Structure 1
Amino acid sequence: MLLLGRILLGFGVGFTNQATPLYLSEVAPPKWRGAFSTGFQFFIGVGVVAANCINFAMAKHSWGWRFSLGLAVVPAAIMTTGALFISDTPSSLVERGRVEQARKSLTRVSRNQH
Structure 2
Amino acid sequence: MKKILILGAFLLVGVGFAQTTKPVLEQEGNLVKATYYYDNGKVQQQGYFKDGKLTGQWIAFDEQGNKKSIGEYVNGAKSGKWFFWNDKALSEVDYSDSRVAAVKSWAQQAIVNK
Shared fold (TM-score, shorter chain, > 0.5): no
Higher normalized contact order (CA 8 Å, seq sep 6+, divided by chain length): 1
Structure with the largest fraction of helix: 1
TM-score normalised by length of structure 2: 0.30
